[in-house]
């Protein structure tokens, strides 16, 4: 049951083979058993969760249901949920109880889904390993000595370890796709503006985008049907007709043109990861796809551009946390300025402080033109690269991450090495394009550990339905997405209770 798809769970609930309360309780029991080791959740409220499950059962009994009614979903702790602690992984918000619901939370509530709890994350979504959280790092379910990726590491670990039916995440520079690759599940970052950012605590407003994290492409499509849609409260939300993201899942791939950027297969890509990606491409050829060699010449500039623009926006967004209106306030101070300084020094972690300082620097009068303006100009060139590429192909493929999951602490003292984990994902955020990671196999490292590898699929604007179709067809002929960890023991043996 815990390993069932969202569609299967929905059918079981509709047929009264199981109740939402029973399903929810099974996940809560599993969380109680494994979360102390994995640290995927940082806020749980069993009473609230079971109240929602009982309400879902009442909806099912009345026949007033949606495909996700009664299904337990984990929510990244970046989304405000009324009455729930919403911390964004930071000491600054460690005791903040959200007074309202984010748009994403409202959408899932309206669909009758059950909120299982709030998942751990890198502080204010700044990180690629989930090691910057004030509440401690998250462990990768495939190997507890390794990171799950970030910033959506808690959601990633929860999906991989089957501590939820599915989860929400956010992706500013790869924070859905990179952890999806490192933990072996399917994650989708939609086109910028397709999912409302209202009530989603801001990191970099022109880059942040919420998306689904689930076992399969079909599951992600069902979640997108709930999450996507216009919201007048978000000025960047796009006013478009509602889509059914499941509509194209079963279309054959004959004639599909797949672009392979030479920049994605150059120096920096782990050789074993590269072999896995090549194997996935070979499967697509069998499905009738045509391979096209393309170039994204400005890909190498995406990291420096991102780490100018994202910190600049973060320095502005995080200025609101001053210890006055809400957030952490220092216990002792001499005057107002001292209170500001001490509250922010105590409330923010090292990585957040680093990015605030960088952002403030590049926005300063003497350096705005040299750094921020120049980065915006290069951002336009990066977007133009994709425009030219999509004249030659339907989708773009490559690795989602340059390596498998690395050991905890391995890169924490080297920010640049950590930033390079997002080399293949950041450019899509800068261009506002949709991208996803799909399990494509496993790589055995030098230490003999077997760890998952993700294939990245990038689509043109608003092409999520096609991407989900491309991923779904691949998942019909492979079973990589069905493999699950034996919780900390890196092998492919199914735990007895999940067989």
- 85 given a catalytic annotation: no
Among residues 20, 90, 129, 175, the one annotated as catalytic is 175
Question: Phi-psi category of 153—alpha, beta or left, where left has phi over 0 and alpha has psi -120 to 50?
Answer: alpha
Q: Tell me, yes or no, if 427 is annotated catalytic.
A: no
**Among 5, 19, 20, 76, the one annotated catalytic:** 76
Is 196 designated active site? Answer: no
Crossing angle of helices 464-477 and 217-227, in 10° steps, is 160
CA-nearest of 174, 233, 228 to 204 is: 174
Helix-then-strand count for the chain, H and E: 15, 11
Q: State how far the alpha carbon of 172 is from the alpha carbons of 203, 309, 332, in Å.
A: 8, 11, 35
Provide the token pair at 123.
């502080």
The token duo for 340 is: 């500001």
Cα Rg of the chain (Å, integer): 21
Measured between alpha carbons, how far is 307 from 426 in angstroms, rounded to an integer?
Answer: 10
Given the residues 151, 152, 403, 427, the one annotated as active site: 151
Nearest Cα neighbor of 484 from 473, 470, 499, 471 is 499
Find all residues with CB under 8 Å of 439, minimum gap 6, and list them: 184, 185, 186, 452, 453, 454, 455, 480, 481, 483
A 10 A CB-CB count for 332 gives 7
- What gap in Å lies between CA 293 and CA 260, rounded to an integer? 5
Strands (E), 171-256: 186-189, 210-214
Q: Which residues pair with 211 in a beta bridge?
A: 169
- CB 6 within 8 Å of CB 214: yes
DSSP state of 371: I
Measured between alpha carbons, how far is 438 from 481 in angstroms, rounded to an integer?
7
Q: Look at strands 166-170 and 186-189 and give their pairing.
A: unpaired
Q: Residue 405 is encoded by which pair of tokens?
A: 């999951």
E strand residue ranges, 25-141: 41-43, 72-76, 114-119
Report d(CA 41, CA 451) in Å as an integer. Answer: 22
- Contact between residue 225 and residue 245 where contact means Cβ atoms under 8 Å apart: yes
Q: Which of 151, 172, 179, 162 is nearest to 406 (CA)?
A: 179
Q: What is the DSSP annotation of 80-146? A: --TTSB--TT-GGGTT-B-SS--HHHHHHHHTT-EEEEEE--SGGG--SSS-S-TT-PPPBTTBTTB
Task: At 287, list the tokens.
Answer: 């499905």
Which active-site residues does the annotation give? 76, 151, 175
């Amino acid at each position: 049951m815990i390993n069932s798809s969202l569609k299967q769970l929905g059918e079981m609930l509709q047929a009264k083979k199981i109740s939402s309360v029973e399903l929810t309780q099974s996940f809560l029991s599993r969380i109680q058993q494994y979360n102390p080791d994995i640290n995927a959740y940082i806020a749980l409220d069993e009473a609230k969760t079971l109240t929602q499950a009982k309400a879902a059962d009442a909806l099912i009994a009345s026949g007033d249901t949606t495909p996700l009614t009664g299904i337990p979903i984990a929510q990244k702790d970046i989304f405000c949920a009324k009455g729930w602690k919403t911390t964004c992984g930071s000491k600054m918000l460690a005791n903040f109880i959200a007074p309202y619901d984010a748009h994403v939370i409202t959408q899932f509530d309206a669909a009758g889904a059950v909120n299982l709890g709030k998942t751990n994350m890198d502080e204010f979504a700044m990180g690629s390993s989930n090691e910057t959280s004030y509440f401690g790092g998250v462990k990768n379910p495939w190997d507890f000595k390794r990171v799950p990726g970030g910033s959506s590491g808690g959601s990633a670990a929860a999906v991989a370890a089957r501590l939820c039916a599915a989860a929400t995440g956010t992706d500013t520079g790869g924070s859905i796709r990179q952890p999806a690759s490192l933990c072996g599940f399917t994650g989708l970052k939609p086109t910028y503006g397709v999912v409302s950012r209202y009530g989603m605590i801001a990191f970099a407003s022109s880059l942040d985008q919420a998306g689904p994290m689930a076992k399969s492409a079909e599951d992600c499509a069902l979640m997108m049907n709930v999450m996507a849609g216009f919201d007048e409260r978000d000025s960047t939300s796009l006013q478009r007709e509602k889509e059914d993201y499941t509509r194209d899942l079963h279309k054959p791939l004959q004639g599909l043109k797949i672009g392979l950027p030479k920049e994605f297969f150059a120096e920096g890509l782990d050789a074993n990861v590269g072999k896995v990606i090549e194997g996935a491409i070979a499967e697509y050829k069998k499905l009738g796809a045509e391979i096209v060699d393309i170039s994204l010449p400005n890909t190498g500039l995406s990291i420096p551009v991102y780490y100018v623009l994202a910190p600049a926006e973060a320095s502005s967004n995080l200025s609101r946390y001053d210890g006055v209106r809400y957030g952490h306030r220092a216990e002792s101070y001499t005057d107002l300025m001292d209170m500001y300084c001490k509250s922010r020094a105590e409330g923010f972690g090292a990585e957040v402080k680093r990015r605030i300082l960088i952002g403030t620097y590049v926005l300063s009068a003497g350096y705005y033109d040299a750094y921020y303006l120049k980065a915006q100009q290069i951002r336009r060139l990066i977007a133009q690269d994709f425009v030219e590429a999509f004249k030659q192909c339907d989708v773009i493929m490559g690795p989602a991450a340059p390596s498998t999951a690395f050991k905890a602490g391995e890169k924490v003292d080297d920010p640049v090495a950590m930033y390079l984990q997002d080399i293949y994902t950041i450019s899509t955020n800068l261009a506002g394009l949709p991208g996803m990671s799909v399990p494509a196999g496993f790589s055995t490292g030098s230490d003999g550990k077997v760890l998952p590898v993700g294939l990245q699929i990038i689509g043109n604007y608003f092409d999520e339905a096609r991407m989900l179709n491309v991923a779904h067809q691949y998942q019909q002929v492979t079973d990589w997405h069905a493999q699950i960890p034996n919780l900390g023991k890196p092998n492919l043996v199914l735990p007895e209770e999940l067989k």
